[in-house]
Structure formats: C-alpha cells, structure tokens
Amino acid sequence: MKLAILESPFAGDVKRNTAYARAALRDSLLRGEAPIASHLLYTQDGVLDDALPDERRRGIDAGHAWLEKADLVVVYSDLGISSGMKQGVERAAARGVPVVYRTIGWPK
C-alpha cells in the first residue's frame, strides 16, 4: 500500500470542501492507497482552529511533515487548487515526492 498525502481545498465553503475531501479519501482508499488528509484531521473540533493564522500554520506544517514518509501526494482538483494545496505541491516537488493530479467528477 502506498502512503498518500491527500490535497484538496478546505477553507471557504468548509462544509462542501469537507464532503469533497471525504469523497477523495474514499477514492484513494479504493485505489489501494493509505491516504492522510491532515486538513480534515487537524481541523476537527478541539484540535486546531483554521481561522487562527498561527494554528492554521501549525496544521499545514504538521501535514507537510508527513512528506518524509509519503510515497506520493495526490491532488484532487475538481474544486480547484487552493494556495494551501499549492504549498503542498511545492514542498513535495522540493523533496522529490511524486505528485499525481486526479478528478473524481465531483460534485455528482
């Protein structure tokens, strides 16, 4: 199983973007990957507040730390590519981690 970092939008329409990220997680899992979507994990109630710049930065940095172990970064782009996603792609490229772009035909 490949370890995959999932990139998808989060900020903005959080409800829609959370539903999309869950669909992307499912897609990745069904492809036989072991994905992590840190933007879903770290923004849960009681963890970090994405509206606070310092906490947002901590979450982004923690997610990027997974690049040390990841086999690939998967960018789900049906809803566009946010600035946070671009940062993830840039960090992956700088570390030589392959980046794959996918769409899942969402919203359905």
Q: Which pLDDT does position 7 carry in this prediction?
A: 96
pTM to 2 decimal places: 0.91
Dihedral (CA of 40, 42, 45, 49) sign: negative
In the chain, % of residues over pLDDT 90: 83
- Higher pLDDT: 10 or 25? It is 25
**3-class SS at 13?**
coil
pLDDT tens across 44-94, in order? 999 999 889 999 899 989 988 999 999 999 999 999 999 989 999 999 999
Domain 2-102 sits in CATH 1.20.1250.20: no
On average, the pLDDT of the chain sits at 94
Q: Are 62 and 37 in contact (CB under 8 A)?
A: no
